[in-house]
Amino acid sequence: MNTKGISTNKTDNHSSAKYDAIVIGAGMSGLYQLYKLRSLGFRVLVIEAGSGVGGTWYWNRYPGARFDSESYSYGYSFSKELLDEWDWKEHFSGQPEVERYCNYVADKFDLKKDICFSSRVSFAHYEKSNNSWSVGTDSGQEFSAQFLITAIGLLSTPTMPRFEGISDFKGSWCHTGLWPKEGIDYKDKRVAVIGTGASGVQAIQDISKTAKSLTVFQRRPNWCTPLHNGPISKKEMEEIRAGYPELFDHCKKTAACFIHTIDPRGTFEVSEEERLAFYESLYAGQGFGIWQGNFRDMLTDEQANKLMSDFVAKKIRERVEDPITAEMLIPKDHGFGTRRVPQETFYYEVYNQQNVKLVSMLDDPIQKITENGIQTRSNEFEFDVIIYATGFDAVTGAFNRIDIRGDNNVTLKDKWAKGPRTFIGMMVDDFPNMFMILGPHAALGNNPRSIEHNVEWISNFVDYMRENNLNGAEAPINAVDEWHELVSGKAESLLSNEVDSWMTGINLNVEGKQTRTVVRYTGTAPEYRARCDDVTRNYFKELHLF
């Protein structure tokens, strides 16, 4: 066993500076990575900016925040004991339950003792002389480790619009992704929500119930479909538990690891009657079935996609009483499912309420935030609360806010200036001994499934390195180029590739994110895992090992 880089000291003292691995982030990725490496005998430190575990589910505590995937498919699968002990309360659990779940996992496996909370990593520098990483936090702590593992999430860097006067506003305001623990009092208040992505839609549904008035500022509408949530009875939970092995096995076989399976039929292979009946059944079904379980050509064939879009547009017109408002809520610039589909519970009916108003920013753009509210081109609004549901600097944003420097002082930010390039989403050339969980160009979708895959692949490789007395590993440039070409090719056939969204690297609030880039791997998860397995089966020989 190599003892040069890997310490065998098992005492857990954060003031001690040398670790085998430093993991950034204590969300679902970081928690499992800590558990896994620790159980292999490595000494691991997790550094977390928040004061608690959960990552996404720690920060996004806005009203209405909840899973959009079936709870039982969205937890960890690695521990039978955990699966036996934890009862999900809702088919799509809300943030408080998910945060409790993350804490339950952390406590059950005694993970918190190895997490340095309330510390944001500001830099991570590779030291060639000893093949290790030096990592510093914004409070001045410094640590080092042979391995650096990023578990920083792909939607974890909230972005604010570049409006003039944001801080002049005298009422309460915040971003959905930075919702304060003590909450924001919006009951009987005049509230504005800016943004109608998945976060905005969830927040609007909830806030509209108790706000005195709610004004929604929408730039581009999204196609939203019913979640059909509901409680899980004790009996149902027992049935779900009995079916866990088959459920997780099934998720491994679907394109994006969701429980929904793409329908093998093409849209035009069935009669109109059959097609409409199928659409109706999808609309009446739960969760992402309508997106991930639709006809096989719905996301690749414009005509097929148009039929589906027309069907959802008709539903919106039926549900929204005012025809002008209904038209404002129907996307005209992209087809159904080509951006992430927000899941809703009576979202469209919110606009039938007397206390709710929709402002289209395409017709009446916001000009500035004032002391008392919002000034648009043709109106002045007064508010007590302004909520920014304006999204994230997705995929690369969390990397860019850390000064990550690899071999020869190369910065990751510079390396990715024209878009990310990775090998199987987990490694980057010039960044030895650095691994990413849910990095750019890894298989995404049902993220906990992807997280478990990435963590297990990384842990297995790190273990292999220890067993083989290796000090370092790096993805060679040709492997990165090859992966990049494959990922770019996969994206070409998709309609979503022709649409602006975080999934195509666009965020108009962020410098340098105005042109579309391929940031996701869009092949199937089974294909992705097979490629990763090849690397393992070939004893990692495609990598530069030293």
Q: DSSP secondary structure string, 75-113?
A: S--S-HHHHHH---SBSS-BHHHHHHHHHHHHHHTT-GG
Q: What are phi and psi of 34, to 5 degrees?
A: -60, -50
Of 103 and 196, the one with the shorter C-beta distance to ligand NAP is 196
Of 340 and 415, the one with the shorter C-beta distance to ligand NAP is 340
**Cα separation of 419 and 512, whole Å?**
10
Of 66 and 441, the one with the shorter C-beta distance to ligand NAP is 66
Provide, rounded to whole angstroms, the least separation between the CB of residue 489 and ligand NAP. 24
Contact region with ligand NAP (CB under 6 A), list: 61-69, 255-263, 373-381, 419-427: 61-69
Out of 61, 66, 91, 334, the only residue in the binding site for ligand NAP (CB under 6 A) is 66
Out of 33, 47, 61, 68, the only residue in the binding site for ligand NAP (CB under 6 A) is 68
Footprint on residues 478-517 left by ligand NAP (CB under 6 A): 502, 509
Per-position x/- string for 185-224, each x denoting binding to ligand NAP as judged by CB under 6 A, each - no binding: ---------xxxxxxx-x----------------xx----
User: Which among 127, 103, 126, 118 has a CA at the least distance from the CA of 14?
Assistant: 118
**Cα separation of 129 and 116, whole Å?**
26
Beta bridge partners of 46: 23, 115
> Max Cα separation, the chain?
71
Out of 67, 126, 431, 435, the only residue in the binding site for ligand NAP (CB under 6 A) is 67
Q: What do you get for the CA distance between the two ends of the chain, in Å?
A: 15
Shortest Cβ contact with ligand NAP: which residue? 197
Provide, rounded to whole angstroms, the least separation between the CB of residue 194 and ligand NAP. 6
Contact 190, 170 (CB under 8 A): no
Of 438 and 470, the one with the shorter C-beta distance to ligand NAP is 438
459 counts as binding ligand NAP under rule CB under 6 A: no
152 counts as binding ligand NAP under rule CB under 6 A: no
Give the 3-state secondary structure of residue 418: coil
Scanning 243-374, the segments in alpha helix (DSSP H) are 244-253, 272-284, 289-292, 302-319, 323-329, 347-350
Number of residues that bind ligand NAP (CB under 6 A): 23
Of 200 and 337, the one with the shorter C-beta distance to ligand NAP is 200
* Burial 179-192, CB ≥16 within 10 A → b, else e: beeeebebeebbbb
Residue corresponding to tokens 């979202």: 347
Contact region with ligand NAP (CB under 6 A), list: 137-145, 208-216, 254-262, 383-391: 383-391
Residue corresponding to tokens 């087809």: 335
Residue corresponding to tokens 């990552």: 55
358, 376, 394, 471 from 364: Cα distances, Å: 11, 6, 27, 59
Of 72 and 126, the one with the shorter C-beta distance to ligand NAP is 72
Provide, rounded to whole angstroms, the least separation between the CB of residue 227 and ligand NAP. 9
22 counts as binding ligand NAP under rule CB under 6 A: no
Contact region with ligand NAP (CB under 6 A), list: 16-24, 60-68, 132-140, 351-359: 60-68
Of 141 and 376, the one with the shorter C-beta distance to ligand NAP is 376
Of 365 and 476, the one with the shorter C-beta distance to ligand NAP is 365
Helix (H) or strand (E) holding 456: helix 447-467
**Cα separation of 154 and 134, whole Å?**
23
Of 196 and 504, the one with the shorter C-beta distance to ligand NAP is 196
Of 184 and 194, the one with the shorter C-beta distance to ligand NAP is 194
DSSP state, 225?
Answer: E
Footprint on residues 386-445 left by ligand NAP (CB under 6 A): 389-392
Provide, rounded to whole angstroms, the least separation between the CB of residue 72 and ligand NAP. 15
**Cα separation of 288 and 341, whole Å?**
8
Footprint on residues 311-370 left by ligand NAP (CB under 6 A): 340, 361
Contact 438, 397 (CB under 8 A): no
170, 263, 493, 495 from 266: Cα distances, Å: 55, 8, 16, 16
- Contact positions vs ligand NAP (CB under 6 A): 66-68, 155, 161, 194-200, 202, 219-220, 340, 361, 389-392, 502, 509
